[in-house]
């Protein structure tokens, strides 16, 4: 898949590194010369310019990208980049900081596919560590496993089945489920899969094609 990432700060850098390591095409957009140099040094393609400039995003290949992640520290830049990407039928992921009020979140979240809070993710990891969880387990899993999401189309063989009953190859496990345009949550035992639902799973990378065939038919 091809991804455009706006912003090569801490979050953008780590996201790009993971995607590139899994074989995806990644293009970075950033107007900071030092960050651009760091991206080149990491072997990534970089387009220097403003992420809210459609011409810059076009140069980054937004026309044939599968998704855009707007991960800069500027919410206005992030939102504008996502709205431009929507015009190219891209999946959009918007970074928003924790200190924005609920009404601000709701205003932006309604127009993008996903919203992420880097601070909240970091806090969740810190809590896990404080409670005795072993974060190294996740690092070890990523050597052979990957996390991904799938949209369930009409005609999928899993439509009508309970989420907990879906049997997948490659040690794949469904860990979250959501209805169309709704946030994903841990599925209840009686939750049935419907066309248009989205599921999140962890699976062996080598088994992803087989998993996709089972989920999409």
pLDDT single digits (tens) 150-203: 889 999 999 999 888 888 886 787 877 888 777 777 777 788 999 999 888 877
198-204: strand order across its sheet:
145-151, 198-204, 173-178
Yes or no: say if 187 and 144 are a contact pair by the CB < 8 Å rule.
Answer: no
Q: In this predicted structure, what is the pLDDT of residue 111?
A: 80
pLDDT classification of 56: cutoffs 50, 70, 90 = very high
d(CA 146, CA 208): 9
d(CA 93, CA 74): 14
3-state secondary structure 104-152: HHHHHHCCCCEEECHHHHHHHHHHHHHCCCCCHHHHHHCCCEEEEEEEC
Phi-psi region of 189 (alpha: psi -120 to 50; beta: other; left: phi over 0): alpha
d(CA 78, CA 68): 10
Yes or no: say if 118 and 159 are a contact pair by the CB < 8 Å rule.
Answer: no
Q: Across the chain, how many H-helices and E-strands are there?
A: 8, 9
pLDDT single digits (tens) 134-156: 444 444 445 556 777 888 999 99
Our CA dihedral for 81, 83, 87, 93, rounded to 10 degrees, sits at 70
């Amino acid at each position: 898949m091809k991804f455009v990432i706006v912003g090569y700060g801490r979050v953008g850098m780590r996201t790009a590194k993971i995607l590139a390591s899994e074989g995806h095409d990644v293009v970075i957009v950033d107007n900071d010369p030092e960050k651009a140099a760091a991206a080149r040094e990491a072997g990534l393609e970089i387009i220097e310019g403003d992420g809210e400039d459609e011409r810059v995003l076009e140069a980054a290949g937004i026309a044939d990208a599968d998704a855009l992640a707007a991960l800069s520290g500027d919410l206005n830049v992030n939102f504008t980049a996502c709205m431009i990407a929507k015009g190219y039928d891209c999946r959009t992921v918007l970074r928003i900081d924790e200190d924005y009020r609920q009404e601000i979140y709701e205003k932006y979240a309604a127009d993008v596919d996903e919203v992420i809070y880097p601070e909240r993710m970091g806090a969740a990891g810190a809590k896990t560590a404080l409670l005795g969880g072993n974060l190294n387990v996740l690092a070890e899993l990523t050597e052979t496993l990957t996390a991904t999401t799938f949209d369930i189309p009409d005609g999928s063989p899993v439509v009508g089945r309970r989420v907990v009953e879906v049997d997948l190859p490659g040690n794949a496990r469904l860990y979250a489920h959501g209805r169309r345009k709704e946030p994903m949550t841990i599925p209840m035992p009686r939750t049935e899969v419907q066309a248009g639902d989205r599921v999140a799973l962890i699976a062996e990378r080598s088994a992803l094609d087989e998993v996709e065939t089972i989920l999409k038919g």
